[in-house]
């Protein structure tokens, strides 16, 4: 896919110069976007439903082939160079930014793709630890670039799956498929409704007078930290606990609200709450899909508010700063909906904002948030962006 905006043209030109200075040749350029999720949180690893949107912030990879079997990678964000031997890779994490590159290269080769050596230069625009999927963006941009650099075809769904495996098995975060999938398959102006079991998806337009407001609390979110994995284990415990009564259940996706009401008392209270979040959130995604199809923003906004409360009270993955950010957005005229987005424990909120209210939204939320917390938030707005691809100046 070709990208055309002025900002992108500028980034491509800068990376081309940087690449030539570092490696002495021309490069090809690839980008993959971060994401927000409108609704459907912590449902992906329960085989459920999600509604993410790719955003206008990407990770960029400039790449050119080498004659040997090395990946030589320079990260602009970390001002650091790493070398990876394609024939000596393993799946051990180094707890280093290059794990993402090595993880993806490792999974691609394991899946049978014969990769060529490469020089690479990486620039990430997605703020790290902000809940906007900088990890998926670096994985997908790397995967896309490595495949095309090796003259191999890119199957977007396959790439999303392999990038997820890289994060699960090499980086060590047991994430679901949502982030990698939308980074690969998102389309300009559209939200993506994904069934995380079958991987069937539908794209539906975001109404043109609505912008995505993204408020970064500046509280670092770290998916690889234990709490995310604990939530997954709690969901699995829920499935095991319900199994004697509901033997058809393979994942929480298969549990209906009435069934949980009926048999939930078999579960320990905490596990019941985790399950209630997932089961009700899946239902909310289905309602939200209909609401978006009808451009019914009031209903969509109400569902987003319910989702946030469920994440706060039942799933317990919010934090005071996220709650405050949601509350402040709710006070601004022209904001249809607000909720935490992504894994939680810090990170960002997503907001649906009428485009005439964007300036007011940014100003009032930023001022009030800073006044209460002493933290200066990053408030961005974005349209729904396209998925990964090659970019030309
Ligand atoms: C992170 C993970 C996703 C998903 C969300 C929560 O972003 O990478 O797979 O589980 O958290 O919805």
Q: Please report whether residue 59 resides in a domain.
A: yes
Q: Please report whether residue 253 resides in a domain.
A: no
- 177 Cα: distance to centroid of ligand 1 (angstroms): 8
The Cα–Cα gap between 257 and 245 comes to: 14
Q: Please report whether residue 321 resides in a domain.
A: no
Q: Average pLDDT of 37-65? A: 98
Total domains in the chain come to 1
3-state secondary structure labels for all residues of 197-217: CCCCEEEEECCCCEEEEEEEC
Name the residue range of residue 16's domain. Answer: 4-206+385-391
Q: Average pLDDT of 5-15? A: 90
Q: Please report whether residue 188 resides in a domain.
A: yes
Q: Which of 35, 37, 44, 194 to probe ligand 1 with, by most ligand atoms within 8 A of CB?
A: 44
Query: Do the beta carbons of residue 66 and residue 118 sit within 8 Å?
Result: yes
Q: Which is it for the CA torsion 328, 331, 333, 335, positive or negative?
A: positive
For atom 11 of ligand 1, the residue with the nearest CA is: 343
Name the pTM for this structure.
0.96
Q: Please report whether residue 119 resides in a domain.
A: yes
3-state secondary structure labels for all residues of 54-120: EEEEEEEEEEEECCCCEEEEEECCCCEEEEEECCCCCCCCCCCCHHHHHHHHHHHHHCCCCCCCEEE
As given in the structure block, the two tokens for residue 22 are 């570092």
Residue 223 — very low, low, confident or very high, per pLDDT cuts 50/70/90? Answer: low
Predicted pLDDT of residue 91: 83
pLDDT exceeds 70 at position 225: no
Q: Which of 342, 344, 345 to probe ligand 1 with, by most ligand atoms within 8 A of CB?
A: 342
Q: Which of 44, 47, 99, 179 is catalytic?
A: 179
Q: Which of 177, 178, 222, 225 to probe ligand 1 with, by most ligand atoms within 8 A of CB?
A: 178
Q: Please report whether residue 52 resides in a domain.
A: yes
Q: Average pLDDT of 269-282? A: 98
- 178 Cα: distance to centroid of ligand 1 (angstroms): 7
Distance of CA 63 to the CA centre of its chain: 24
pLDDT digits (tens, 9 = 90+) for 134-165: 999 999 999 999 999 999 999 999 999 999 99
Q: Please report whether residue 197 resides in a domain.
A: yes
Residue 261 — very low, low, confident or very high, per pLDDT cuts 50/70/90? Answer: very high
Q: How far is residue 261 from each of residues 48, 177, 249, 277, 343, measured CA to CA in Å?
A: 19, 28, 15, 12, 26
Mapping DSSP to helix (H, G, I), strand (E, B) and coil, where does residue 358 land?
helix
Q: Please report whether residue 218 resides in a domain.
A: no
Predicted pLDDT of residue 1: 35
pLDDT exceeds 70 at position 10: yes
- 41 Cα: distance to centroid of ligand 1 (angstroms): 7
pLDDT digits (tens, 9 = 90+) for 236-248: 999 999 999 999 9
> Could you give the dihedral angle defined by the CA atoms of residues 147, 152, 153 and 154, in that order, rounded to the nearest 10 degrees?
-10
Residue 33, domain CATH: 3.30.230.10
- 382 Cα: distance to centroid of ligand 1 (angstroms): 20
The Cα–Cα gap between 84 and 74 comes to: 11
Residue 36 per-residue DSSP state: E
Q: Which residue has the higher pLDDT, 107 or 93?
A: 107
Supply angle C-alpha 101, 103, 104, rounded to 5.
Answer: 70
Q: Is 47 a catalytic residue?
A: no
Residue 5 — very low, low, confident or very high, per pLDDT cuts 50/70/90? Answer: confident
Closest atom of ligand 1 relative to the 176 alpha carbon: 9
Predicted pLDDT of residue 8: 87
Comparing 4-18, 104-118, 285-299, the range with the smallest average pLDDT is 4-18
- 294 Cα: distance to centroid of ligand 1 (angstroms): 27
Q: Average pLDDT of 249-265? A: 97
Predicted pLDDT of residue 4: 56
For atom 2 of ligand 1, the residue with the nearest CA is: 175
Computed over every residue of the chain, the mean pLDDT equals 96
Closest atom of ligand 1 relative to the 37 alpha carbon: 12
Give the whole-number percent of the chain exceeding pLDDT 70: 98
Predicted pLDDT of residue 6: 82
Pocket of ligand 1 (CB under 6 A): 41-42, 44-45, 133, 175-176, 178-179, 223, 342-343
């Amino acid at each position: 896919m070709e990208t055309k905006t002025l900002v992108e043209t500028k980034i491509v030109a800068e990376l081309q110069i940087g690449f030539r200075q570092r490696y002495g040749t021309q490069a090809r350029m690839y980008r993959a976007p971060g994401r927000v999720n409108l609704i459907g949180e912590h449902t992906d690893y329960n085989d459920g439903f999600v509604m993410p949107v790719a955003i206008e912030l990407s990770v960029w990879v400039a790449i050119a082939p080498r004659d040997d079997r090395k990946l030589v990678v320079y990260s602009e964000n970390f001002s650091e160079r790493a070398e990876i031997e394609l024939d000596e890779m393993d799946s051990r994490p180094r707890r280093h930014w290059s794990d993402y590159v090595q993880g993806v290269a490792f999974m691609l080769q394991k899946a049978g793709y014969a990769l060529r050596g490469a020089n690479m230069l990486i620039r990430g625009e997605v703020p790290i630890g902000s809940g906007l999927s900088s990890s998926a963006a670096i994985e997908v941009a790397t995967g896309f670039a490595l495949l095309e650099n090796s003259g191999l075809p890119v199957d977007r769904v396959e790439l999303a799956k392999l990038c997820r495996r890289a994060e699960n098995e090499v980086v060590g975060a047991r994430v679901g498929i949502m982030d990698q999938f939308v980074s690969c398959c998102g389309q300009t102006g559209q939200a993506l409704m994904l069934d995380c079991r079958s991987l069937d998806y539908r794209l539906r337009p975001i109404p043109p007078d609505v912008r995505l407001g993204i408020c970064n609390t500046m509280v670092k979110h770290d998916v690889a930290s234990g709490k995310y994995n604990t939530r997954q284990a709690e969901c699995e415990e829920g499935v095991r606990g319900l199994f004697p009564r509901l033997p058809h259940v393979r994942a929480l996706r298969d549990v209906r609200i009435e069934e949980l009401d009926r048999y939930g008392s078999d579960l320990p209270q905490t596990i019941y709450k985790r399950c209630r979040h997932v089961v009700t959130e899946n239902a909310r995604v289905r309602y939200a899909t209909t609401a978006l199809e009808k451009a019914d923003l009031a209903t969509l906004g109400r569902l987003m508010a319910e989702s946030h409360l469920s994440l706060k009270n039942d799933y317990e993955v919010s934090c005071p700063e996220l709650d405050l950010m949601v509350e402040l957005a709710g006070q601004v005229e022209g904001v249809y909906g607000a909720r935490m987005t992504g894994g939680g424990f810090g990170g960002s909120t997503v907001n649906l904002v009428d485009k005439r209210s964007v300036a007011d939204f940014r100003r009032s939320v930023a001022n009030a948030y800073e006044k209460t917390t002493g933290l200066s938030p990053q408030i961005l707005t974005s349209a729904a962006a396209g998925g990964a691809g090659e970019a030309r100046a």
